[in-house]
Amino acid sequence: MERRPLPPVWQSLVVSFGTATLGFGAPIHIGVIAYQLGGLALLLLIVVYQIVPTMLLFAGERLLLRRCGAGRALALFRGLGFGLALLIFLRLLPQSVPFLAQSLAPTPIYTALMWIVAVGVVGGIVALHRHAIVRDYLTIIGVVSLFWTGIFAQQMGLFGRAWNPPQEPPPSASSRSAHSPPVFLLFFDGMGSDVLLRDGQIDAERFPHFSVLAQDSVFFIHATSNYGNTEYAFPTMLTGHWGHQREMYNVGTPSCPVGLASVLNRWMGGSLCKGSSDFLQSPKNILSLLDQNGYRVVEYHGWFSCRSEHTLCKGRRWFSQRYPMHIVAATGIGFLDGLIPKGRVFWGVRRLLWAPVAFTAPQFFQDFLADVHSASAPGTVFFIHVVLPHEPYVFDRHGVWRPPPPEDDLPAQMRAYERQCQFVDTLLGQFLEHLRTQGLYEQSIIVVTSDQGVRPLARWGIERPDAINGMVPRVPLLIKAPGLTPGISTVDYQHIDFKPTLLDILGLPPEEGLPGVSAFAPERPTRPKIFYWGGIRYIATDPTGQAPWVVEKHLGSGG
């Protein structure tokens, strides 16, 4: 039998690039868009997760061609490679599309659909390998992937903008005096208030630094969040409007490049481009308002992009420029972690993988402390979002890494969560000590809170299928300000009140029409405690929020 001619080298290279782009590059691109990475990290991600897999596939194909020719073996190699790439893409896609993650992805239907599509692609390529249409189709996919990657790199600024360091915003027209107190807004992601408490007080033995700060602060013991996810919690806090009721994403901008991700964005309700929110960049954003009132505003986000275009941003892009290898390693581990199925059978493998938080949060917090100086802090608003004690729970109170407990072992999860919260207490202690060393503590305005509580323990002690426990919505809220009498407040604070409360503390005029009200207002509204999570609206069954929260109604995929 006459051997078929070998495909040219360029075709093998293009087909290999298309396969690598689908299986490795596309999920990485989605993550880059979501977190607005830049600089050397962006280049390294393309090299490590597209170029290297491409060269390995290319070398494997050419070796196979030399030994077996361009027959069924080549078709099987290409079919398995492309089918596996498609399976990986479908497996990782729900990580960036909450609509899928909450509705279809956890079901056996989605799993079956993934395998049917992947196996069907393999079978089709093998069965039709003699037809030019299969060869040409795979080549076309590779060519499209080349153009797609080039456009993606250009729109993410790889050829210029991505390498630019964060720039200090121009001084405001009405600069505040150097005697204005520094303002610190600290958000510890995923921290609930109940872990801090013992007999209604902060446990000074387990959380000494929270206890010390509470002695100089108003501690809102019944404070609650309104959302169980960061993407809606922060818009609600910063703008004073309900996050799920506004258009959140603007596809086709430099923050959300045109490509496969933006196409999926249109289908999935704008859930990919977390950094491109017009809502967050609105002039009504509290950070923008503070900038307009003469404050210098600096944002620190350990794992996300910044929330306002009017501030000095030290977010994911800044971090990726400073620590590119951290980003590459964390991305790869998150990539692998997303491929490992859930369940105790696979937990031994998952325990070997460090979560991205383990690479970034502690160092990022130290970078923030290094920027706080007595000479420059007055008149500055520091907005700090620390991705701790967010799950998985891998740190002890000293910041030493430990393997996380199994997901279904709730008692072990609770112990590990408490240890990680104690590490947050350690970081808070470093912050307070640094302010004292700089002579800033007494004059500073300090707000410490969280976007939501401990989500993995939502079912702790709950038997009702339509309820969650109060540890998820209940968050710490401590506010220290000159002239503010310390004590415990039992008012019904919800995060919809964050913006009017901050305006009140800073002595700025209140904004009319906001659904929330300052926590220090003389008259408080009578209202239910509301919490949106996974498209479901929960209502507290008691005014404190400590009892179970029950489902009121379904709201589709919002919240």
Per-residue tokens: 522: 């003389």
Residue 469, pLDDT > 60, answer yes
| CA dihedral (361, 367, 369, 372) positive or negative | negative
CA 73 to chain CA centroid, Å, is 43
Lowest mean pLDDT, pick from 82-91, 180-189, 435-444: 82-91
Q: What is the tens place of the pLDDT at every residue in 423-449?
A: 999 999 999 999 999 999 999 999 999
- Return the exposure string of 99-133: e unless at least 16 CB atoms fall within 10 Å of the residue's CB, then b: bbbbbebeeeebeeebeeebeebbebbbeebeeee
pLDDT of residue 517: 95
C-alpha dist (Å) from residue 350 to 333, 334, 338: 10, 10, 9
Could you tell me how many residues make up the chain? Answer: 559
- 353 within 8 A of 337, measured Cβ to Cβ: yes
- 3-class DSSP state for residue 139? helix
Confidence band, pLDDT 50/70/90 cuts, at residue 490: very high
Structure tokens that stand for 440 in this block: 């800033």
The pLDDT of residue 276: 40
Whether pLDDT at 213 is above 90: yes
Most confident of 88-102, 339-353, 459-473: 459-473
* Least reliable range by pLDDT among 69-83, 86-100, 205-219: 86-100
- Note the pLDDT of residue 425: 97
pLDDT of res. 355? 61
Residue 91 to residue 533: CA distance in whole angstroms: 23
pLDDT-derived band at 57, boundaries 50, 70, 90: very high
Q: Which amino acid is at 9?
A: V
What is the per-residue pLDDT for 274?
46
Listed as own residue / partner, the contacts of 430-433 with beta carbons closer than 8 Å and 24 or more positions apart are 430/365, 430/369, 431/184, 431/186, 431/365, 431/369, 432/209, 432/212, 432/213
pLDDT of residue 309: 61
What are phi and psi for residue 350, nearest 5 degrees?
-65, -30
The C-alpha angle with vertex 446 and arms to 440 and 448, in degrees rounded to 5, equals 140
Instruction: Output phi, psi for 383, to 5 deg.
Output: -105, 115
Query: Could you tell me the pLDDT band of residue 465, with boundaries at 50, 70 and 90?
Result: confident
Tokens of 70: 């361009």
Average pLDDT taken over every residue of the chain: 82
pLDDT at residue 257 greater than cutoff 90:
no
Alpha helices in 181-278 (DSSP H): 208-215, 230-239, 260-267
Instruction: Give 41's pLDDT tier (boundaries 50, 70, 90).
Output: confident
Nearest to 331 by CA among 22, 18, 29: 29
User: Pairing mode, if any, of strands 478-480 and 445-449?
Assistant: antiparallel
| Rg value, the chain, Cα | 25
- The whole-number average pLDDT for the span 283-306 is 82
pLDDT bucket at 226, cuts 50 / 70 / 90:
very high
5-19 tens-digit pLDDT = 778 899 899 999 999
Q: Is the pLDDT of residue 3 over 90?
A: no
Look at residue 230 and tell me whether its pLDDT is greater than 80. yes
184 CB neighbour count, 10 Å cutoff? 22
Q: Residue 103 — very low, low, confident or very high, per pLDDT cuts 50/70/90?
A: low
Statement: residue 166 has pLDDT above 80:
no
Contact call for residues 51 and 330 (beta carbons, < 8 A): no
pLDDT-derived band at 43, boundaries 50, 70, 90: confident
The distance of Cα 141 from the centroid of its chain, to the nearest Å, equals 31
Q: What is the pLDDT of residue 305?
A: 65
State the average pLDDT over residues 179-201: 91
* Tens-place pLDDT, residues 347-395: 777 666 666 666 678 888 998 999 999 988 999 999 999 989 988 888 9
Per the model's pLDDT, the better-predicted residue between 306 and 514 turns out to be 514
**Could you give the CA distance from residue 311 to residue 307 in angstroms, rounded to a whole number?**
9
With a pLDDT cut of 70, the percent of the chain lying above it is 80
Question: Is the model more confident about 441 or about 316?
Answer: 441
Q: Choose the most confident range, by mean pLDDT, from 68-82, 116-130, 431-445.
A: 431-445
What pLDDT was estimated at residue 248? 46
Residue 240 has pLDDT above 80, yes or no: yes
In the predicted structure, residue 173 carries a pLDDT above the cut 60: no
Is it the case that residue 102 has pLDDT exceeding 80? no
Distance CA 429, CA 378 (A): 21
Separation in Å, CA 162 to CA 183, 306, 320:
30, 15, 10
State percent of the chain over pLDDT 90.
38
Statement: residue 255 has pLDDT above 60: no
Checking if the pLDDT of 320 tops 60, the result is yes
Of 248-252, 282-286, 327-331, 455-459, give the lowest mean pLDDT range: 248-252
The structure's pTM equals 0.84
Identify the weakest region by mean pLDDT among 67-71, 86-90, 386-390: 67-71
Among the ranges given (66-80, 100-114, 364-378), the one the predictor scored with the smallest mean pLDDT: 100-114
pLDDT attached to residue 250: 44
Q: Taken in order 531, 536, 537, 539, is the CA torsion positive or negative?
A: negative
Q: pLDDT category, 337, cuts 50, 70, 90?
A: confident
- Please write the tens of the pLDDT for every residue from 511-551: 888 999 999 999 888 899 999 987 789 999 999 999 999 99
Sequence letter at residue 476: P
